[in-house]
Structure 1
Amino acid sequence: MRLYPYYYRVNRWEPILNVLQQSLYAEEMVCAMSSELYHIPQTKDLKGNNEMHKHLVPASYHRVTAVGSAQRLVNGEQQPSIIATMATCIVNAENQDKKVREGLNVMEKNASREFKPVIRMIIQWQNQAESTLKQAKDSLRSMGVSFPSGSEQQNGGEY
């Protein structure tokens, strides 16, 4: 019996892609749950929801772009511009997340007692979206990836 060694093609981008996908999944839950509130008579005009969505939309765009960039790297592309795009989108998503959180806090304060648990669940999903995004950023930093300053909006279209 002859044993063949297993060779694994280790792709250092796969763990990054994984946590970015987790962040995007959590963002999907935030989007779905907070958008549903527009379709419930008691919450259709909930204070903070419109303001939160003004930042949730670009936060989602930047997560999608970061995931797409990571997927391209996993698939073997190697251009430094892909890494720069991913890093910039992570920073942009973080910036938008701050305003999303502010809107969620306003929503929680203004929701009736009946809907506070729903808002708290959305906040838990937002926590997950932010923490996994931070994991991706920390992992990229440990790989030597540098990030643009988080204090100002970076290039990336109107968002």
Structure 2
Amino acid sequence: MYPYYYNYRQNNWEPILTLLQQSLYAEEMVCSMSSELYHIPQTKDLEGNNEMHNHLVPASYHRVTTVGCAIRLVNGERRQSIIDTLAACIVNAQKQDRGVRQWLGVMEQNASSEFKNFIQMIIRWQTQAESTMQRAKEAVRTMGVNFPEEGEGAAPY
């Protein structure tokens, strides 16, 4: 049987779950809008979109995982391994977010004027995804959770 980590038992995980769900929602918008560009003749080969998706896919995986961990914590599970997974996936999502942001900038620079506003909307959604993830991280940190250094995460990417 896995050891339980009782120090977090009295803490309220619901606000953290809400922030993580908000981050995931914003990520869903980034995924939807940037993937749509592949289906528009003028943007199907937009420079930077493939590279951005190379970061967006693992960022999305890590966001989904953080939400799953938070749901389990809200429902009363308290294993340290769940908390460690949540913390590592927050770090991993933030690492991938840096690549997403970098390549969104390339996309914006290379988009025709007709699509610049659309790319800027994707960037705003990405900003929302990042800011709510950071707020969740800060809330978790106030509970006494330590975060791993980059590279010590739950997955190798």
TM-score by length of structure 2 reads 0.91
Name 1:52's counterpart in structure 2. 52
- Partner Cα separation in structure 2 for residue 156 and residue 19 of structure 1: 20
Indicate which of 143, 154, 157 corresponds to 1:156.
154
Name 2:5's counterpart in structure 1. none
For 2:118, give the aligned amino acid: V
SS of the residue aligned with 1:78?
Answer: coil
**Is contact 1:17–1:70 with CA below 8 Å preserved after alignment?**
yes
Deviation beyond 3 Å, 4+ runs, structure 1: none
Q: Describe how 1:32-71 pairs up with structure 2 within 5 A.
A: 32-71=32-71
- Partner Cα separation in structure 2 for residue 156 and residue 145 of structure 1: 16
- Partner Cα separation in structure 2 for residue 143 and residue 132 of structure 1: 17
Task: Flag structure 1 segments of 5+ consecutive residues without an equivalent.
Answer: 1-9
Higher Rg of the two aligned structures: 1
For 2:24, give the aligned amino acid: L
Name 2:23's counterpart in structure 1. 23
For 1:63, give the aligned amino acid: R
- Partner Cα separation in structure 1 for residue 152 and residue 35 of structure 2: 27
For 2:17, give the aligned amino acid: L
1:156: Cα distance to partner? 2.8
Name 1:99's counterpart in structure 2. 99
- Partner Cα separation in structure 1 for residue 11 and residue 75 of structure 2: 9
- Partner Cα separation in structure 2 for residue 157 and residue 137 of structure 1: 18
Deviations 1:96-143 (A, max 9, x none): 000000010000000000000000000000000000000000001111
1:11: Cα distance to partner? 5.8
For 1:100, give the aligned amino acid: V
- Partner Cα separation in structure 2 for residue 48 and residue 111 of structure 1: 10
Deviations 1:16-52 (A, max 9, x none): 0000000000000000000000000000000000000
1:155: Cα distance to partner? 3.8
**Identity among equivalent pairs (%):** 70
